[in-house]
Copies of this chain bind each other. A is one copy, B any other.
C-alpha cells in the first residue's frame, strides 16, 4: 500500500502531473512511513497470532472500550489488554466478547484461540505470590498463539519441586522464570536447560527486597548462560519476547 502510494507519486512525476520540485516538498512533509521502508508501520502490531495490544493502565474504561471497538470493527481478534481494571472489563464485556482474568488483570477481547507456533513456553515461578505476574506472561503468550506450560511455586528453597519437573523444563523452547525476593530461580533454571531463559523479577517480598530491586540485580548477575532480564513485574514483556523466539524456532 505504502509502496503503492510512493509508486503513484513517482508516476505522477513521470507523467508530469506534478513537478519534481513539488514532489520534493511532499517527501519532506510525508511521514517517514510513507516512504515504503520494510517496517512501514511501526504500530507494534503483533503479527504472530494477529493480536493487538492495549496497555490499560492510565486509560479510562471508556477510552479502552473505544479503542477495542475500533479494533474489533476492523476485524481484530485476540485483542490483548494488560493492566485492565475490573471496571474497564465490566464495561467492555457489555458490548464485546471478553476473556478477562481478575488476578493478572489481562483481558482478551474477541478471543479466538489458535496455536501458531509449535514449541512450548514454560512459565515458572518461585512462589505463589508471583502468580499475577506469571499469568500476565502466560496469557500474553497464549494470546499470541503459543502453547504454555505453567510450573508455579517451584522456588529454589525446595529444589525437589523444581527437579521433579525437569522433563517439562527440558522440552521448553523458552522458559520464563518469574521470581521475587532473592530471584535465584532464574540462575538455577538457567543451569538446567539449553534454551533461552527470560527472567522476570517481581516486586514480591518485603524489607530489603526493595520492591523487586534485589530480584532484578540478582537476575542480572546470573552465573548461568542464556539468561536475560526484563523490567520488574513486566510479565507482558516476557510473554511477548518468548512468543517471538518460539515463533522463530524450528
Contact = CB atoms under 8 A, between A and B. Distances in A.
A203 interface: yes
A218 B217 contact: yes
A229 B232 contact: no
Contacts of A128: 58-59
Given A182-B221, A229-B230, A36 B14 contact: no
A90 interface: no
Contact of A166 (B34, B39, B181, B214): B39
Contacts of A38: 28, 166-167, 170
A237 B198 CA distance: 13
A166 B187 CA distance: 19
Contacts of A201: 207
A179 B138 CA distance: 29
Contact of A42 (B7, B191, B216): B191
Contacts of A245: 196, 245, 248
A225 B239 CA distance: 10
Given A159-B42, A228-B229, A249-B250, A213 B220 contact: no
Interface of A: 3, 6-7, 10-11, 13-14, 16, 20-21, 23-24, 27-39, 41-44, 46-47, 53, 57-59, 126-129, 155-161, 163-167, 170, 173, 181-184, 187-188, 190-196, 198, 201, 203-210, 212-234, 237-238, 240-241, 244-245, 248-250
